[in-house]
Amino acid sequence: MYTEKVMDHFSNPRNVGEIENADGAGQVGNPSCGDIMKITLKVEDNIIKDIKFKTFGCGAAVATSSMVTEMAMGKTIEEALQITNKSVAEALEGLPPAKMHCSNLAADALKAAIEDYLKKQNA
């Protein structure tokens, strides 16, 4: 069902948690649909210095959250915004068709966190 890469990120999720006084925070999903993702960021000189996630969801949801944090870590804001649902799924060597929507959440949560950061910057 799941690739080895998915199972690796599921069993050893990277960057679990919540950054206090985050520079940006984003939450997407809805608990009644079975999935929520929350991403918090620390940004320095336009570079994502730290990123953490919290997820309520299936194996794919946990793995995509973990993967998206790994992909975004150390990237510039512009580079991080290039991360798509598709690239997350590909980095995990694929997801079962029924689970593709979980990868949407991960990229969406990252985007939401970055937008929150940019909004705060402009405020």
Partner 1 sequence: MRKVYFDHSATTPVDPAVAEEMIKYITEHFGNPSSIHSWGREARKAVEKARQQVATAIGASSIGEIAFTSSGTEAANMAIRGVAYANRQKGNHIITSAAEHSAVLACCKQLEREGFTVTVLPLDQYGLVTAQQVAEAITDKTILISIMHANNEIGTIMPIKEIGEVARENKVIFHTDAVQSVGKIPVNVDELGVNLLTLSGHKIYGPKGIGAMYIRKGTFWQPITFGGGQERRRRPGTENVAGIVALGKAIEMATERMYNDAQRLSGYRDRLIKEVLEKIPNTILTGHPQNRLPNHVSFCFRFIEGESMLLMLDMKGIAISSGSACTSGSLEPSHVLTAIGLSKEVAHGSLRLTMGKYNTEEDIEYFLEVLPPVIERLRAMSPLSEG
- The site for ligand FES (CB under 6 A) is made up of 34-35, 57-58, 60-61, 99, 102
d(CA 40, CA 44): 14
Residue with tokens 């985050």: 22
Give how many residues touch partner 1 by CB under 8 A. Answer: 27
In the residue annotation, 58 being an active-site residue is answered as no
**Where does residue 43 rank: exposed (0-12), middle (13-18), buried (19+ CB within 10 A)?**
buried
**Smallest distance from the beta carbon of 115 to partner 1, in angstroms?**
18
Find out whether 88 and 70 touch, Cβ atoms under 8 Å.
no
Q: Which residues, 29 to 58, sit near partner 1 by CB under 8 A?
A: 31-38, 54-58
Written as one letter, the residue type at 29 is G
**From 43, 92, 95, 102, active-site residue:** 102
Single out the residue of 79, 93, 105 nearest to residue 27, CA to CA: 105
In the residue annotation, 102 being an active-site residue is answered as yes
**From 11, 17, 18, 33, active-site residue:** 33
Question: Which residues does the annotation mark as catalytic?
Answer: 33, 102
Applying CB under 8 A, the residues found at the interface with partner 1 are 1, 7, 10-11, 13, 16, 18, 27, 31-38, 54-59, 61-62, 96, 98-99
